Structure 1
Amino acid sequence: MSGSDGAIVQFDNVGLRYGADAEVLSDVSFTLFPGSFYFLTGASGAGKTSLLRLLYLAQRPTRGVVRMFGTDTITVPRGHLPGFRRRIGVVFQDFRLVPHLSVSDNVALPLRISGVAEADIRKPVADMLAWVGLDQRAGAFPATLSGGEQQRVAIARAVIARPEVLVADEPTGNVDPDMALKLLRLFEALNRLGTTVVVATHDVHLLQKVPDSLIMRLDRGRLSDPTGALRYPPRRDPAVL
């Protein structure tokens, strides 16, 4: 697995345990390629959220190798990790909006952290809020939003800076089916621009909505990949890239 050409993420025999408990992830190996779209599925308790935490570098594995952007993240100094994290967009299941910031300021946060000039922030934020149907709520604060509205703000914030990798934990869990499909199309559009997308979901109906997607299945902490699709670059129509 090590050294796969063009890989943006590589996991090699990764295991994760919390404290002295049994492993929640065991011998997980896969390769993610730039510009590909992946669904992560599995029953509740299968380890999806733990795997996502490893992907967005909130957790280090107990064993194994994790390489991102060509670098071994296990041995890289912790002071270098924020730079890696800025290349990753994350949609958290519990939203994690900043309560004292307005909707527009929450969405603008990744751009400001990246040093984008204020004059270049207003329009992309307004466009993104219009896309997720929250242009009329730009000045509102998270506490005044419904769960579905907070979810849409979290998604807008995650994708505003066009990250190289987007990790989304149940991103459609708090919205109606029409909005879920619209948000999925937003992820697809970002994917066509080159972002590698990983969406964790228990909604089997979503799996058929992205024709070029690949499916990663977790079962009690082990990854099922019977086709080998996660080890080789997927075949894609060059016209869509």
Structure 2
Amino acid sequence: MSGNESSIVQFDNVGLRYGTDREVLSDVSFTLYPGSFYFLTGASGAGKTSLLRLLYLAQRPSRGIIRMFGTDIITEPRGNLPSFRRRIGVVFQDFRLVQHLSAFDNIALPLRVAGVPENEVERPVADMLDWVGLDHRADARPATLSGGEQQRVAIARAVIARPEILVADEPTGNVDPEMAVKLLRLFEALNRLGTTVVVATHDVHLLKKVPDSLIMRLDKGRLSDPTGALRYPPRRDLRQDAGA
């Protein structure tokens, strides 16, 4: 795969194995474009979580090439990776909220880790709580929140720093169908602001809920391309380019 300056992520013949086991991902190649919305789907055990771990730089591949933000991540020194991770928001399937912190402080965590002055933290966190409909639960700790509320806190934490890429692993798996649609609408709103969104899901009914989304399908560790998402920029991007 040749370099593409308009892409935000490129995988080229990537393989991943854990230890001496067989590969869980084999010859995975795709390109993600800025401001696009992707669903990553496939049966349980297809390799979705493993692929997402590569995307948010929690795992290095066993082989192949990964370029992110124009940089070869494989050859990049490990000490430089945190600066790349700060450009990626992650919504984990199990939320991973800090139990002794309030909803406010969980959401504020990425800003504080990045060294944002405390007097510049309160307003964006308050705005984010309002955005996810939890302004009345700012002081609540995770144990007192419902599953859907915890998920919304996790999403707010993931997007508070306006990441260039948002990666979500089965974000609707622990909520009812009505809440699942509401969460997708939050992802769409972020996507409209320019963030590239990748949502892993096994729920095929969700795939039609975002009309402009593109579908990446994993089957036994191999990626298929039912919408042409992996080879070409989305048509809406091409229209924007033509009108620029």
Instruction: Sort the TM-score into its range (normalised by shorter chain).
Output: over 0.9
Alignment partners' CA distance in 2, 1:57 and 1:160: 19
- Greater shift, 177-186 or 88-97, is seen at 177-186
Alignment partners' CA distance in 2, 1:78 and 1:212: 35
Amino acid at match of 1:187: F
The answer (yes or no) to whether the contact 1:97–1:142 under 8 Å persists in 2 is: yes
Q: Deviations over 1:54-81 (max 9, x none)?
A: 0000000000001100111111000000
Alignment partners' CA distance in 2, 1:124 and 1:192: 18
**TM-score when normalising by structure 1:** 0.95
Alignment partners' CA distance in 2, 1:132 and 1:180: 13
- Greater shift, 199-208 or 56-65, is seen at 199-208
Alignment partners' CA distance in 2, 1:154 and 1:178: 18
Q: Which residue of 1 aligns with 2:234?
A: 234
The answer (yes or no) to whether the contact 1:102–1:140 under 8 Å persists in 2 is: yes
Q: Which residue of 2 aligns with 1:181?
A: 181
Secondary structure of the 2:199 match is strand
Amino acid at match of 2:130: A
Q: Which residue of 2 aligns with 1:163?
A: 163
Alignment partners' CA distance in 2, 1:11 and 1:189: 26
The reply on whether 1:26 has 2:26 as its aligned counterpart is yes
Q: Which residue of 1 aligns with 2:11?
A: 11
Amino acid at match of 1:145: L
- Greater shift, 139-148 or 80-89, is seen at 139-148
Amino acid at match of 1:238: Q
Query: Which runs of 5 or more structure 1 residues have no equivalent in the other structure?
Result: none
Q: Tell me which stretches of 4 or more aligned residues in structure 1 moved more than 3 Å.
A: none
Residue 5 of structure 1, CA deviation = 3.0
Q: Which residue of 1 aligns with 2:127?
A: 127
Alignment partners' CA distance in 2, 1:81 and 1:99: 27
Residue 227 of structure 1, CA deviation = 4.6
Amino acid at match of 1:60: R
Number of paired residues?
240
Residue 117 of structure 1, CA deviation = 2.5
Amino acid at match of 1:90: V
Q: Which residue of 1 aligns with 2:72?
A: 72
The answer (yes or no) to whether the contact 1:41–1:215 under 8 Å persists in 2 is: yes
Identity over aligned residues, as a percent? 84
Q: Which residue of 2 aligns with 1:60?
A: 60
Alignment partners' CA distance in 2, 1:2 and 1:116: 38
Alignment partners' CA distance in 2, 1:52 and 1:75: 19
The answer (yes or no) to whether the contact 1:2–1:10 under 8 Å persists in 2 is: no
**TM-score when normalising by structure 2:** 0.94
Residue 205 of structure 1, CA deviation = 1.5
Query: Which runs of 5 or more structure 2 residues have no equivalent in the other structure?
Result: none
Change in Cα spacing, 1:152 to 1:227, as seen in structure 2 (3 Å) is closer
